[in-house]
Amino acid sequence: MKKVIGITGSIGSGKSYAIENFKKICKNKNAKAFFIDVDDVRRNILLEENIDRIKLNEKIYNDNNEMEIYKKFINPKIKNYLMKQIEQNDGFTFIEWALLIEDELCDIVDSIIMIYCDKEIQIKRLENGDLGKTEIIKRMNLQLTNEQKIEKIKQLNKEYYIIDTSNNPSIDQYENILKKEGL
């Protein structure tokens, strides 16, 4: 069975944690599953194009016009890469993409899993990383809110699921979603 599942959610919502759970489940079931992190794809494209990520981030996170120019450059390249990967895989393809909804590229996935988390917990999770609180909030404000993402997902003609990672849900919740998806 060929299926493409988009995993989305705001920065610090727990997407990577969810992906790890899906990987464990797929491994335990010997399921044919392929996992793609769009952040890694984006980094590789920038590397191939000899674009300095740090300088780019300074530009795009401080100028909406530059962000739009960047998206017009990067998103077709990402979509092209993803389409090739999807075509090559017969099983489940999980695509971790924070901006799946914002980038309006939901057409490449069959279903969407929205990873949701309380805003205070998101900030707390991110404060241990490279970004300061001001930068974290700035980046969060560039994304749709969790509520806006959920509302847009509901408008799509796709199967969708919402996982609230605020209290670290049990593995059963992840397994139930994959059962519904045919795994």
Q: What is the pLDDT of residues 4-42, one digit of tens each?
A: 999 998 888 889 899 999 999 999 999 999 999 999 999
- Start-to-end C-alpha separation, the chain: 9
For residue 64, is it within any domain? no
* CB-based contact 122:11 (threshold 8 Å): yes
For residue 125, is it within any domain? yes
Joined together, the tokens standing for residue 33 give 């599953």
Structural domain harbouring 127 = 3-38+91-178
For residue 110, is it within any domain? yes
pLDDT tens, position by position, 44-72: 999 999 999 989 988 988 888 999 999 99
Total count of domains within the chain: 1
Helical (H) or strand (E) element with 6: strand 3-8
Count of Cβ atoms closer than 10 Å to residue 99 Cβ: 21
Q: Of the given ranges (69-78, 81-90, 116-125, 162-171), which has the lowest mean pLDDT? A: 116-125
Percent of the chain past pLDDT 70, that is, above it, reads: 99
Q: Of the given ranges (77-81, 111-115, 169-173), which has the lowest mean pLDDT? A: 169-173
* CB-based contact 164:117 (threshold 8 Å): yes
Looking at residue 112, what is its pLDDT?
A: 95
Tell me the pTM.
Answer: 0.89
**For the domain that residue 136 is a member of, what is the CATH number?**
3.40.50.300
For residue 158, is it within any domain? yes
For residue 14, is it within any domain? yes
**Largest CA-CA distance found in the chain, in angstroms, rounded:** 46
Within 63-170, where are the H helices? 64-88, 119-126, 133-142, 146-155
pLDDT tens, position by position, 91-144: 999 999 988 998 888 899 999 999 988 888 877 777 776 777 777 777 777 778
For residue 7, is it within any domain? yes
For residue 172, is it within any domain? yes
Looking at residue 183, what is its pLDDT?
A: 84
For residue 68, is it within any domain? no
Q: Which amino acid is at 6?
A: G
